[in-house]
Structure 1
Amino acid sequence: MNKKELETEVKRRRTFAIISHPDAGKTTITEQLLLFGGAIRQAGTVKAKKSGKFAKSDWMEIEKQRGISVTSSVMQFEYQNKRINILDTPGHEDFSEDTYRTLMAVDAAVMVVDSAKGIEEQTKKLFKVCRMRGIPIFTFMNKLDRDGREPLELIEELEEVLEIDAYPMNWPFGSGKNLLGLYDLYHNRIELHRPEEMNGGERFIPLTAEGEIEGDHKIKNESLYDQVLDEALLLKEAGNDFSKEAITKGKLTPVFFGSALTNFGVQTFLETFLEFAPEPAEQETVEEKVIEPTDEEFSGFIFKIQANMDPKHRDRIAFLRICSGQFEKGMDVTLSREDKKMRLSNSTQFMAESRETVSSAVAGDIIGLYDTGNFQIGDTIYSGKNKVTFKELPQFTPELFVKVEAKNVMKQKSFHKGINQLVQEGAIQLYKSYHAESYIIGAVGQLQFEVFQHRMRNEYNSEVVMTSIGNRIARWISQDQLDENMGSSRNVLVRDRFDNPLFLFENQFALRWFSDKYPDVELTALL
């Protein structure tokens, strides 16, 4: 496509992640968005285990068993002439690494909050990453069909805990069994929860310029009507000013109320979100260049690697965020880390577990590249003569460690293949004892070990035995400063998967003791 066509296509892209604390309803709202986009015909809720229906974005077997998301998944669809890329992220804190890296690949975030629980711990952590990136944040107060906290209390908590201004786009008429609808401040209308009972099936009631219903109406007889009207008028007068610029800079979050499970308020949210969500943004490089999304030369970075999305084929998919130009099947690119030329002949688009080959994509799109071991998380690929290297993605030092070995010594081949492939996904880290080949794996949370054990058994037919060595503090040391006699039972000397030496310290006391004994030795938390 020519420059003008490229610009038109890029401007149609909206790429965002959905973040939340576990069980706030993140996967359910994703389902409803896909339903509006015609990407699925039926929402398979994570609650419906007996019927065999599972969330379309939860494709991994362990996710279906537990009803949680433990890996980011990508879904793409068209809606109102926009090309939408949704990244559904794990809510569980043990998988926050995956979520953090995913947030590097989006232009906006949708924060789902349980209206009965308010701002929870994991939401705070994920919000900080969004704030660090300065990306727009849109808030959906979910589960309005259940009795929850007062809307004003939720807004105040949002502003105080997360230190961001909030602008309610709509305001609830009741909650739980008494939920009547939403007073839509932005569109100046009322959205009814049960329109067939209140308005002959019409979901929306237009309001006058003063914000009231003209003439007689059934909802006016409800005791909540005058109260909500007063609250809405007060919000208009005394609340924060609405500012598109403040939203774009991540300083003001538009707040929507609704219920993903009953599909109430979701369509209004989606259409309003698309009005204010940003187009693909420019990206900075280590070469101190700014890559515009409409630059004609192709570039992108790998933010995730996933093994065995199709267990029948034992494939590996590298998730690529396109940052500029146009991807075309079979194109030649350079892998920046190794200055290595390669041809991108196998690529895919996603709909959770279902995929289709993609022949063309532009900045803002997320595509999957079939990987035979070339890629690492954080890799840049680009076309053209001028080198491009995007800035590093966040890394995390593990805190929990276990020794791992194959239960059946006759299945060493599948054990080694499985452990090496799963390590490349970035959720767990692999270490080896310094002089032997015994394996230690590290993670930031216990659930990651359980998922690792489950996947080794089910995807690689390899039962593993894991022996905890507890919490450890990992610190790297340069090869030229290393003396192997420095190692002890309190600071175990190991190698990472790139053969760099590091110590696993038993606790802070052991780390301080080592630093006092070897004051000239420099230890680093990340390599």
Structure 2
Amino acid sequence: MSLKILNRNAVISLLERNWFQANRVSSHCWYSTRKIGEVIQDVERIRNIGISAHIDSGKTTLTERLLFYTGRVAEMHEVRGKDQVGAKMDFMELERQRGITIQSAATYVMWKEHNINIIDTPGHVDFTVEVERALRVLDAAVLVLCAVGGVQSQTYTVNRQMRRYSVPCIAFINKLDRQGSNPNRVLHQLRSKLGHNAAFLNIPIGLEGNHQGIVDLIHEKALYFEEPQGLILREDEIPANLRAEAKDRRQEMIEIVANVDDDLGEIFLEERTPTAQQIQDAVRRTTLDRSFTPVLVGSALKNKGVQPLLDAVISYFPNPSEVSNVCLDNSEGIEKTKELTLDPTRSTEPAFVGLAFKLEAGKFGQLTYVRVYQGGIKKGDTIINTRTQKKTRVQRLVRMNADEMEDVPEVFAGDICALFGIDCSSGDTFVTKGNTHLSMESMFVAEPVISMSIKPIKKGDIDNFSKGIARFTKEDPTFRVQWDEESKETIASGMGELHLDIYAQRLEREFNAKCVLGKPKVAFRESLIASCNYDYLHKKQTGGQGQYARVIGSVEPMPVEDNTKLQFSNETVGTNVPKQFIPAVKSGFMKACEKGGLAGYKVTGIKFRLEDGANHAVDSSELAFQLATEAAMREVFEDGQWHILEPVMTVEINGPEEYRNDVLENITERHAIIQATDSNEGFFTIFCEVPLNEMFGYATELRSLTQGKGEFTMEYSRYCPALPETQDQLIQEYQEAHAAASAGGQQRKKKN
């Protein structure tokens, strides 16, 4: 019987009829059929996972293979394929054109009668919020690492996000077919750089052009992925040249897991040989409590190692009932945490609670992605938004397969679905009647670090421009647009130049509003150096009811780690400042911090302490206390010691060794602080921190220095005090612009 069959349907038919030749070939139960619209009710057969990694590590290619081997797509396509079709999960035209993932995409597959919900996330730092909101609602994640690049700059960010939401992970070392691949080096980096207690569960049979398959260390067998397209999984004995290494790696894996698992540790100390099942059970327990990270290897592009990864997802990742999820309960007027319940038997299912974690506006209206944490939801149910208390009837309930929608009658706790026609914001909680006091904690959203002016080229496109901006700012909380009264420009803020450039292109493609972006502006901040007291009396009498308010207290700097935050503290005793006016004082403080006194940037990193004040029985009002606070802050701007903060970026630069010194010299001129350097296979890597203000135009300069062979990645790290020359320049520019604006205003008055 020949196995060289090109038609996939014929392959499936063949496998169904003649596959069980157990002594020679194993199918690994790789193909499961499922009707469209069918929803799994057994929560123990559900897995919610994300695919996360540094840019160009092969996430989307891996997801394409997962879809193919589970029967979700009939044929595979490449991210930058010659057939111009592109990968299934990169369905946006811009994604296929640029060869990168811009927004996360959701799908679901069936493997061994288990439903796996998958979210493919972007790797570029500019779209980090897509990874953030995916990990917020997922139970586990696959961390993809390039066998050549290893742990890279965005890998640190993804790892930090996984830790933030306590997400268990499996590491998959991809691209073993590439020249210079070294999985042992990547494992060492995983341990030393990311702090993972990690070990191989399988090792490669050959590397680079000789990569043929993998060795399963737990079951002690070799797996070969044969044509067509790696569909045929052949089991064999471990090759003679790998038996010693396989034995050592297996023993190393058992020792590492035994150190963090009591049951396997007991077997190990008694010098008994654990069974494959005992090892798998121990790996599962330690993966769930994040004390161990299983490491698998393969090459998604060459169709090797994908099926064992699917097996590992089912074997080692938690089902939704094994994950503890909490919500905020303010039923008694006090906000406290409450654990949500999920009954695996579904016999006593409580009321519905779901979180809207992603919004997407399509041609049929707003699509809202929802993770169901408790209870279930059916088509026709009425749900309530706990933030707005607005009731909405579920008109259409769908599950997503990238850009395709599949209608379902209902979904259950632990699943991910999408709703149509729901007016909400990202991070809103939906419940059914009786649960309106519950709300899920929202995700972490980073502050934008770069701003550019944006405007449509044609005045006639202003309506489409406004519609597009309204849609994008609602979908993406890191993309913000505001009108600057002083410069009379629309200012767009985001996570990087690419981030803003992508939205400008989307405005042209999707809303027919071609835009022009101005010179990038860094989101500087102003902060206080030393504490400053204030005592301000606001008094105004113009006939009738006047205005009277007095505020007394101090403003002090916050710790360095909180220098992007603002804090208000009410420390009044008695009724000198009535309780009903405290929110107005806070509002005045927040409003005053929108524009600082040094160079007009937002004020952050300060704590406003309201200690005392005075009021008038008739003339005091919310407006009076707000104006008094704003004036008090203006005095603090004048009397206090202030400085400007600037965003500092973590930068990773890669290039050929011959250009190393030139690149080092150039980046040092940009006031970089070199943290580490590395060399491998004739290429260097420089890790450093550089002020964002110094990084504009660096891509062009790096290409010219390295004859187009160098590349760099950059991500936000923290805010630090700006260099004295930078601060002086910003203050001077602000004063000149302010003087010019004042002179222009006086001229207009004269003309009138």
Range of TM-score over shorter length = 0.7 to 0.9
Instruction: Tell me how far apart the structure 2 counterparts of residues 251 and 384 of structure 1 sit (CA, whole Å).
Output: 40
| Matching residue of 1:270 | 310
**Residue 236 to residue 442, structure 1, CA distance change in 2 (3 Å):** closer
Q: How does 1:515-526 map to 2 (within 5 A)?
A: none
- What's the CA shift for 1:450? 1.2
**Any idea what SS the aligned residue of 2:91 has?**
coil
Instruction: Tell me how far apart the structure 1 counterparts of residues 41 and 602 of structure 2 sit (CA, whole Å).
Output: 55
Task: Name which of 443, 447, 455 aligns with 1:397.
Answer: 447
Letter in 2 for 1:452: Y
Q: Which is higher, the Rg of structure 1 or of structure 2?
A: 2
Q: How does 1:59-138 map to 2 (within 5 A)?
A: 59-138=91-170
Task: Name which of 510, 513, 521 aligns with 1:470.
Answer: 521
**Residue 33 to residue 202, structure 1, CA distance change in 2 (3 Å):** closer
Q: How does 1:79-478 map to 2 (within 5 A)?
A: 79-193=111-225, 203-205=234-236, 219-220=239-240, 224-232=241-249, 234-235=251-252, 238-241=255-258, 242-280=282-320, 281-287=323-329, 288-294=337-343, 295-308=349-362, 313=363, 315-371=365-421, 374-386=423-435, 387-426=437-476, 427-433=478-484, 438-473=489-524
| Matching residue of 2:614 | none
Contact 1:195 1:203 survives alignment (8 Å): no
- What's the CA shift for 1:236? 5.0
Cα deviation per residue 1:27-58 (whole Å; 9 max; x = unaligned)?
Answer: 1110111112211111111020x312201001
**Any idea what SS the aligned residue of 1:250 has?**
coil
- The structure whose RCO (Cα within 8 Å, separation 6+) is larger is 1
Instruction: Tell me how far apart the structure 1 counterparts of residues 248 and 318 of structure 2 sit (CA, whole Å).
Output: 30
Instruction: Tell me how far apart the structure 1 counterparts of residues 153 and 309 of structure 2 sit (CA, whole Å).
Output: 24
**Any idea what SS the aligned residue of 1:317 has?**
strand
Instruction: State the percentage of identical aligned residues.
Output: 27
Q: How does 1:36-51 map to 2 (within 5 A)?
A: 36-48=69-81, 50-51=82-83
- What's the CA shift for 1:152? 2.9
Contact 1:490 1:506 survives alignment (8 Å): no
**Any idea what SS the aligned residue of 1:491 has?**
coil
Instruction: Tell me how far apart the structure 2 counterparts of residues 368 and 268 of structure 1 sit (CA, whole Å).
Output: 30
Instruction: Tell me how far apart the structure 2 counterparts of residues 304 and 432 of structure 1 sit (CA, whole Å).
Output: 26
Instruction: Tell me how far apart the structure 2 counterparts of residues 264 and 60 of structure 1 sit (CA, whole Å).
Output: 27
Instruction: Tell me how far apart the structure 1 counterparts of residues 243 and 199 of structure 2 sit (CA, whole Å).
Output: 21
**Any idea what SS the aligned residue of 1:157 has?**
helix
Instruction: Tell me how far apart the structure 2 counterparts of residues 358 and 202 of structure 1 sit (CA, whole Å).
Output: 34
Letter in 2 for 1:363: A
TM-score, normalization: structure 2?
A: 0.59
Letter in 2 for 1:101: R
Aligned length: 478
**Residue 257 to residue 493, structure 1, CA distance change in 2 (3 Å):** closer
- What's the CA shift for 1:226? 4.6
Cα deviation per residue 1:367-395 (whole Å; 9 max; x = unaligned)?
Answer: 122246x2111100011302220012111
Unaligned stretches of 5+ residues in structure 2: 1-38, 259-281, 330-336, 344-348, 526-563, 567-585, 604-629, 631-636, 638-643, 647-720, 729-752
Letter in 1 for 2:359: I
Instruction: Tell me how far apart the structure 1 counterparts of residues 236 and 290 of structure 2 sit (CA, whole Å).
Output: 32
Instruction: Tell me how far apart the structure 1 counterparts of residues 105 and 226 of structure 2 sit (CA, whole Å).
Output: 33
- What's the CA shift for 1:307? 2.2
Letter in 2 for 1:113: L
Instruction: Tell me how far apart the structure 2 counterparts of residues 339 and 396 of structure 1 sit (CA, whole Å).
Output: 27
Unaligned stretches of 5+ residues in structure 1: 1-5, 207-212, 214-218, 495-500, 514-527
TM-score, normalization: structure 1?
A: 0.84
**Residue 361 to residue 435, structure 1, CA distance change in 2 (3 Å):** farther
Instruction: Tell me how far apart the structure 2 counterparts of residues 344 and 89 of structure 1 sit (CA, whole Å).
Output: 27
**Residue 349 to residue 506, structure 1, CA distance change in 2 (3 Å):** same
**Any idea what SS the aligned residue of 1:245 has?**
helix
Task: Name which of 28, 44, 48 aligns with 2:61.
Answer: 28
**Any idea what SS the aligned residue of 1:468 has?**
coil
**Any idea what SS the aligned residue of 1:126 has?**
helix
- What's the CA shift for 1:161? 1.0
Contact 1:44 1:54 survives alignment (8 Å): yes
**Any idea what SS the aligned residue of 1:122 has?**
helix
- What's the CA shift for 1:315? 2.8
**Any idea what SS the aligned residue of 1:350 has?**
strand
**Residue 168 to residue 493, structure 1, CA distance change in 2 (3 Å):** closer
2:600 equivalent to 1:491? yes
Contact 1:179 1:193 survives alignment (8 Å): no
Letter in 2 for 1:289: K
Letter in 2 for 1:285: C
Contact 2:284 2:315 survives alignment (8 Å): no
**Residue 487 to residue 408, structure 1, CA distance change in 2 (3 Å):** farther
Contact 1:107 1:135 survives alignment (8 Å): yes
**Any idea what SS the aligned residue of 1:348 has?**
strand
